[in-house]
Amino acid sequence: MAYRKDSIFKNVDWWTILLYVLLVVCGWFSICGASYDYGDPNFLDFGLRSGKQLMWIACSFGLATVILSLDHRFFDTYAFLIFGILLLLLFATIFNPNEIKGSKSWIVLGPVSIQPAEFAKFGTALALAKFMGEYTYSLSNRKHFMATLAIILLPMFLIIMQKETGSALVYLSFFLMLYREGMPGAILFAGVCAVVYFIVGIKFSIVPMADEVTPWGEFAVLSLIIILTSGLIWV
């Protein structure tokens, strides 16, 4: 394992770290307040939510130190390997018998529960950076474009199979990066429109119009599709 020869604290942005620590501390106190049981001041008990979060906070600082110690070439070399291991972990999680609140996205290790989907975000970003960083990469190349979609959509599909759609939707943010790499704006625009259609359709799906037959949600969505599609044609 390669380590950086220079000091890991030489080029650290201390203001960013300070803001991060403040957010973590505020978040931990919020968890303590939300899970507080009157008469039980033991916030450090690992059996409680506050204790578990404190343990993960300590682990995150240790992991951050290790990551800063590694040479940047380590991530470039093992990006696809890390991504592949996390995909296997996501696949194995589907068959995990430990179901928490209807979701099978958790792996229980004693008193600790972890979500591989969260680590897969890091692996997906690494794999995309490795693949798109190649000198010959071009988003206009059909093979490259399909491979890029596969890197993003495959973990999304596995996470949806775990009944964790909310975490899967986070992966759609990678398409913002593709727009910067040359993806047509019409595709990004269509994606934003799909989100708007969904929200409007759900919000007003049970509100009838004057004819008491057609819901306002259905009418609004169809109208938006016609208007925005016409706009795309003229563009």
CB-based contact 142:88 (threshold 8 Å): no
Lowest mean pLDDT among 10-24, 50-64, 66-80, 194-208: 194-208
The encoded tokens of residue 201 equal: 């359709």
The answer for 212, left when phi > 0, alpha when psi is -120 to 50, beta otherwise, is left
In this model, does residue 164 exceed pLDDT 60?
Answer: yes
**Mean pLDDT, the chain, as a whole number?**
75
Residue 214 has pLDDT above 60, yes or no: no
Which percentage of the chain shows pLDDT scores above 70?
62
| pLDDT digit string, tens, across residues 45-76 | 666 677 777 888 888 888 888 877 777 788 88
Rounded Cα distance between 229 and 16, Å, is 43
Task: Output the pLDDT for position 233.
Answer: 46
> Mean of the pLDDT values across residues 147-176?
84
Select the more confidently predicted residue: 174 or 189. 174
